[in-house]
């Protein structure tokens, strides 16, 4: 893994952008661009990222950004890539940076199309598990029992296992990452540069606004996500699957921290503890976590 000293000093996430305090999206973008080092065109659909970097006449990132419509980022990227090809440019990376809403929900068709066409691009879904831009409505990435402004008493369905859908498209490289492990994230972006063809990265990204936790706790929550087994770090080159070193020990349910440590820090789950712990609902969350592990390991190994 890259050492902190080896990470380039140049900043591509510029000062004075409009992100909230404690925004983990900026952590992800910062390390992604340090890895890609500038030769990239970034496509951004409607989402938090489109707001924070694009307050005209300023530009929030030191790379070319093409903001596009909510459901159209993979299609837009296909066009950018085709134009680069037509002009004989085979080195510039085309990268989509889309939220979970723009990926799991409204943008899924365009994404499926671009993957199937073997588009040479990197699609990043930064997953804050909610429509943050529009004020915290549910997405199909919102976890079971999380409160949003369209699920006031908690969501009644678990999240879509998007990674399985993506894997069925057989990208050349697929990974999950987490902003609490920025060096690992950096390495995965570096690695993504090595492959030609469709690449997909799924980044777990705590959002203090939507999840309702103190802004300085983002890294802690991200780590608890992994340590409770809730979020799984892994990557896949072709069909060669590697369980991430941060997640390895938590494959064993015995070694996982109690899910309460993760849930209790977040306002969106506070109803699970009021007036007293809702054992049934928390059990359901634990069952889903195990189900996801089983699905992942059964499918990929």
Ligand X SMILES: Cc1ncc(C[n+]2csc(CCOP(=O)(O)OP(=O)(O)O)c2C)c(N)n1
| Sites of contact with Mg ion (CB under 5 A) | 99-100, 128, 132
- Measured from the CB atom, is 29 or 282 closer to ligand SF4? 29
Interacting partner of 208 out of another protein, ligand X, ligand SF4, none (Cβ under 5 to 8 A depending on kind): ligand SF4
Contacts (CB under 8 A) with another protein, residues 227-256: none
Residues 197-216 as x/- pattern, contact with ligand SF4 by CB under 6 A: ----------xxxx------
- Which residues are bridge partners to 190 per DSSP? none
Residue 16 parent element (H or E): none
Which residues have CB under 8 Å from 36's CB, separation 6+? Answer: 63, 93, 95, 189, 193
Which residues have CB under 8 Å from 112's CB, separation 6+? Answer: 165, 169
Find the shortest distance in angstroms from Cβ 11 to ligand X.
Answer: 21
Helix (H, G, I), strand (E, B) or coil at 167: helix
Give CA 163 to chain center in angstroms: 11
Question: Which span (45-53, 150-158, 259-267, 269-277) binds ligand X, by CB under 6 A?
Answer: 45-53
Question: Which span (51-59, 189-197, 201-209, 232-240) binds another protein, by CB under 8 A?
Answer: 51-59
Contacts (CB under 8 A) with another protein, residues 127-146: none
- Which residues are bridge partners to 174 per DSSP? 200, 236
Question: Which span (3-11, 111-119, 131-139, 241-249) binds another protein, by CB under 8 A?
Answer: 111-119
Residue 73 phi, psi dihedral angles, 5° rounding:
-65, -40
- Binding status of residue 243 toward ligand SF4 by CB under 6 A: no
Cα–Cα dist 143/135, whole Å: 17
- Measured from the CB atom, is 53 or 180 closer to ligand X? 53
Q: Which of 109, 131, 129 has the alpha carbon at shortest distance from 51?
A: 131
Cα–Cα dist 229/127, whole Å: 17
Helix (H, G, I), strand (E, B) or coil at 21: coil
Find the shortest distance in angstroms from Cβ 111 to another protein.
Answer: 10
- Binding status of residue 142 toward ligand X by CB under 6 A: no
Contact 224, 146 (CB under 8 A): no
- Measured from the CB atom, is 133 or 180 closer to Mg ion? 133
DSSP state of 103: I
Residues that bind ligand SF4 (CB under 6 A): 19-20, 23, 25, 48, 52, 128, 132, 207-210
Residues that bind ligand X (CB under 6 A): 46-48, 70-71, 99-102, 128, 130-134, 139
Residues that bind another protein (CB under 8 A): 38-41, 43, 50-51, 53-57, 59-69, 71-72, 74-87, 92, 109-110, 112-113, 116-117
């Amino acid at each position: 893994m890259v050492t902190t000293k080896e990470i380039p000093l140049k900043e591509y996430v510029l000062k004075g952008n409009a992100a909230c305090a404690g925004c983990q999206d900026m952590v992800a973008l910062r390390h992604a661009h340090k890895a890609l080092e500038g030769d990239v065109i970034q496509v951004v659909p409607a989402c938090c990222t489109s707001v924070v970097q694009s307050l005209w006449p300023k530009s929030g990132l030191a790379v070319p950004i093409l903001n596009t419509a909510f459901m159209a980022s993979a299609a837009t990227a296909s066009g950018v890539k085709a134009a680069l090809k037509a002009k004989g440019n085979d080195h510039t990376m085309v990268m989509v940076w889309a939220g979970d809403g723009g990926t799991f929900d409204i943008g899924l068709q365009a994404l499926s199309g671009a993957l199937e066409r073997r588009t040479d691009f990197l699609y990043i879904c930064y997953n804050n598990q909610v429509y943050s831009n529009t004020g915290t409505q549910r997405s199909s990435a919102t976890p079971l029992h999380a409160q949003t402004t369209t699920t006031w008493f908690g969501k009644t369905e678990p999240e879509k296992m998007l990674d399985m859908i993506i894997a069925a498209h057989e990208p050349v490289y697929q990974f999950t990452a987490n902003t609490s492990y920025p060096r690992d994230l950096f390495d995965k972006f570096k690695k993504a540069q090595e492959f030609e063809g469709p690449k997909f990265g799924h980044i777990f990204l705590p959002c203090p606004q939507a999840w309702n936790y103190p802004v300085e706790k983002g890294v802690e929550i991200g780590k608890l996500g992994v340590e409770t087994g809730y979020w799984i770090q892994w990557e896949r080159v072709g069909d060669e699957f590697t369980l991430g070193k941060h997640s390895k020990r938590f494959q064993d349910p015995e070694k996982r921290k109690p899910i309460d440590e993760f849930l209790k820090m977040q306002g969106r789950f506070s109803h699970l503890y009021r007036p007293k712990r809702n054992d049934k609902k928390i059990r359901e969350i634990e069952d889903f976590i195990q189900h996801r592990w089983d699905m992942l390991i059964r499918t990929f190994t």
